[in-house]
């Protein structure tokens, strides 16, 4: 392959990302504007995300259901803030069966309105609560500008929707699911995230409060990776979702909704990958290890393939997602480059020398600090005995997973600023290298808007205390007024 290398991240991060997504065959642009085709390499990542999250949802008592793609337009209009938030990006179906519809149907941009309409039918008394539901679905938002995985006109996501008896219970659920997202980000995506609350201007249209997880990408921009909303009684009141309480009075239910999307795939890409291509945390890698057999003569081919086949069978039997690359029209070197581009966490090389020694060579996609250091300028190569190979691969996968999380955390903290003294200094950071600036905020939307105007940075969230490292609100870094919160400012996707 002479078409060579990706544009380096340092040269043009955006070009690097686009080339990587296409070259690693994760996704490409569909014939329809703003839409993407998710190819098997990319969809495999999403499937693992789904599996991981779905289990966590079930473990916390949620059930899956499915609601229709099409929603009567009037449903959206019932919640004022909600319709205002979504109206500009709706796709609307006006015809069906060759006739104009009496009422236009919108393609769901999110499903609160239809789901709470149905909840209202299912709930009579407090014993019908809580409802803890989730759906895996596609939604459409007619975005002006799109980027593969990060923002597409149609995307895949899950949306959890719950109804509760009390406000406290709803708040607990909102925070519980935010916690689920955080755990998932850290344990599966190897991505450290900040948990916190959105400001009013960034709050979900129709929510009382929106909480989020925010991650930092390699270009030091923030990416909102997931949100969890306490909807209060805003939707239950307009959709008449009420129940008779323990005290006999009729009350409106308290709702929450929470979601993550295929954007997480983009997040994983931009968090870990390098100039050689995709880097995937093993837990989200459709293929954890690829075996590349090496041989010259026919006799060597026979012995190597016999040994490699046995290894493949053994590893598969142990439940490992392993492949063998038996293509004979490609040199081993070319295969190495290709599998690195595709982000396979480990390569297993096996040649005549290895077979003779009953070993293989394992090359991890990124250097693992706890293993023997690589020679200067070289890739880390681990010589591993074939006996007990599956355990070794599992332990390496686990080490790699931890390594990626540690690398990402180190990078995020190296680009986090908690002692910025002035607004000028803050602008310098935001306009320069970027990153997360923790600073006091007076809590007003005017201040927020001013910073956005002047720097294009927004308040990503009001972080939970564990992230502020003892900082307390003093005077607002922008206005000089008394501050209400420590906020994180950053440019964002």
Partner RNA sequence: CGGGGCGUGGCGCAGCUGGUAGCGCACCUGCUUUGGGAGCAGGGGGUCGCACGUUCGAAUCGUGUCGCCCCGACCA
Give the nearer residue to RNA in terms of CB position, either 79 or 165.
79
Residue 204 interacting with RNA (CB under 7 A): yes
Residue 2 interacting with RNA (CB under 7 A): yes
CA distance 181 to 183: 5
What count of other Cβ atoms lies within 10 Å of the Cβ of residue 422? Answer: 11
Residue 333 interacting with RNA (CB under 7 A): yes
Give the nearer residue to RNA in terms of CB position, either 81 or 410.
81
Residue 363 interacting with RNA (CB under 7 A): yes
Give the nearer residue to RNA in terms of CB position, either 80 or 414.
80
The residue from 8, 10, 11, 14 that contacts RNA (CB under 7 A) is 14
Torsion of Cα atoms, 375 then 379 then 380 then 382, to 10°: -110
CA distance 21 to 155: 16
CA distance 263 to 36: 12
Residue 4 interacting with RNA (CB under 7 A): yes
CA distance 411 to 124: 51
407 with 216: CB under 8 angstroms? no
Torsion of Cα atoms, 176 then 178 then 180 then 181, to 10°: 170
The residue from 191, 230, 262, 440 that contacts RNA (CB under 7 A) is 262
The residue from 66, 145, 317, 421 that contacts RNA (CB under 7 A) is 145
Residue 219 interacting with RNA (CB under 7 A): no
- What is the nearest approach in angstroms of RNA to the Cβ of residue 178? 14
- What is the nearest approach in angstroms of RNA to the Cβ of residue 330? 6
Residue 207 interacting with RNA (CB under 7 A): no
What binding mask, one character per residue, do residues 428-467 give for RNA by CB under 7 A, x or -? ------------------------x---x-----------
CA distance 322 to 302: 21
Beta bridge partners of 265: none
Alpha-carbon Rg for the chain, nearest whole angstrom, is 25
The residue from 39, 147, 242, 418 that contacts RNA (CB under 7 A) is 147
The residue from 172, 186, 202, 309 that contacts RNA (CB under 7 A) is 202
> Which residue intervals of 342-388 are DSSP H helices?
352-357
Residue 133 interacting with RNA (CB under 7 A): no
Give the nearer residue to RNA in terms of CB position, either 55 or 296.
296
What φ, ψ does residue 194 adopt, rounded to 5°?
Answer: -95, 135
- What is the nearest approach in angstroms of RNA to the Cβ of residue 136? 15
Q: How many chain residues are in contact with RNA, going by CB under 7 A? A: 61
- What is the nearest approach in angstroms of RNA to the Cβ of residue 56? 20
Where does this chain touch RNA (CB under 7 A) — which range of 42-50, 73-81, 242-250, 255-263? 255-263
DSSP string, 212-256: EEEEE-TTS-EEEEEEEEEEETHHHHHTT-EEE-TTS-EEE-EEE
The residue from 16, 119, 254, 336 that contacts RNA (CB under 7 A) is 336
The two beta strands, 436-441 and 382-385, are unpaired
The residue from 40, 88, 125, 388 that contacts RNA (CB under 7 A) is 88
Where does this chain touch RNA (CB under 7 A) — which range of 294-302, 309-317, 420-428, 437-445? 294-302
Contacts (Cβ under 8 Å, ≥6 apart) of 118: 67
The residue from 317, 328, 432, 466 that contacts RNA (CB under 7 A) is 328
The residue from 42, 351, 435, 463 that contacts RNA (CB under 7 A) is 351
With CA atoms as reference, report the closest residue to 266 among 227, 215, 228, 220. Answer: 215
Contacts (Cβ under 8 Å, ≥6 apart) of 189: 49, 264, 267, 268, 271, 281, 284
What φ, ψ does residue 406 adopt, rounded to 5°?
Answer: -65, -45
What is the Cα 324 distance to its own chain's centre? 29
Contacts to RNA by CB under 7 A: 1-5, 14, 18, 29, 32-34, 88-89, 141, 143-147, 150-153, 155, 202, 204, 224, 227, 261-263, 276, 294-296, 301, 328-334, 336-338, 340-341, 349-354, 361, 363, 379, 452, 456, 492-493
């Amino acid at each position: 392959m002479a078409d060579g290398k990706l544009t380096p991240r340092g040269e043009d991060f955006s070009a690097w990302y686009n080339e990587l997504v296409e070259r690693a065959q994760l996704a490409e642009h569909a014939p329809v504007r703003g839409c993407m085709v998710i190819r098997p390499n990319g969809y495999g990542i999403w499937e693992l995300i789904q599996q991981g999250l779905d289990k966590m949802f079930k473990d916390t008592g949620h059930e899956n259901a499915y609601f229709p793609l099409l929603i009567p337009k009037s449903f959206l209009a019932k919640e004022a803030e909600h319709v205002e938030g979504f109206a500009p990006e709706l796709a609307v179906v006006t015809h069906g069966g060759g006739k104009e519809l009496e009422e236009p149907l919108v393609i769901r941009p999110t499903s609160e309105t239809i789901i709470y309409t149905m909840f209202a039918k299912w709930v009579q008394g407090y014993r019908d609560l809580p409802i803890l539901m989730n759906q895996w679905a596609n939604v459409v938002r007619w975005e002006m500008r799109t980027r593969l995985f990060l923002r597409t006109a149609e995307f895949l996501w899950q949306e959890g929707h719950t109804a509760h008896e009390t406000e406290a219970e709803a708040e607990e659920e909102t925070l519980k699911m935010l916690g689920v997202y955080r755990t998932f980000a850290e344990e599966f995506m190897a991505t450290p995230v900040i948990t916190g609350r959105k400001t009013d201007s960034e709050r979900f249209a129709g929510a009382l409060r929106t909480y989020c997880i925010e991650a930092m990408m390699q270009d030091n921009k923030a990416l909102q990776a997931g949100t969890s909303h306490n909807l209060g009684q805003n939707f239950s009141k307009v959709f008449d979702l009420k129940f008779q309480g323990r005290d006999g009075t009729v009350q409106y239910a308290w709702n929450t909704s929470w979601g993550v999307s295929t954007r997480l795939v983009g997040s994983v890409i931009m968090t870990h990958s390098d100039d050689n291509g995709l880097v995937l945390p093993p837990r989200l890698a459709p293929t954890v290890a690829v075996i590349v057999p090496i041989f010259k003569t026919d006799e060597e081919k026979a012995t190597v393939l016999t040994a490699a086949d046995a290894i493949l069978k053994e590893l598969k039997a142990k439940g490992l997602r392993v492949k063998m690359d038996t293509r004979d029209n490609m040199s081993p070197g070319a295969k190495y480059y290709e599998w690195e581009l595709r982000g396979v966490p480990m390569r297993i090389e096996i040649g005549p020398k290895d077979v003779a020694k009953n070993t293989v060579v394992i090359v991890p996609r990124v250097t693992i600090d706890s293993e023997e250091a690589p020679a200067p300028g070289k890739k880390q190569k681990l010589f591993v005995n074939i006996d007990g190979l599956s355990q070794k691969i599992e332990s390496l996968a686990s080490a790699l997973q931890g390594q990626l999380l540690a690398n990402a955390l180190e990078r995020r903290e190296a680009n986090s600023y908690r002692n910025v003294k002035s607004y000028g200094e803050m602008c310098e950071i935001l306009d320069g290298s970027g990153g997360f600036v923790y600073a006091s905020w007076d809590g007003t939307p005017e201040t927020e808007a001013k910073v956005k105007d002047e720097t294009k940075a927004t308040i990503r969230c009001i972080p939970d205390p564990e992230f502020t490292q003892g900082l307390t609100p003093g005077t607002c870094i922008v206005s000089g007024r008394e501050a209400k919160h420590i906020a994180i400012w950053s440019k964002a996707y």
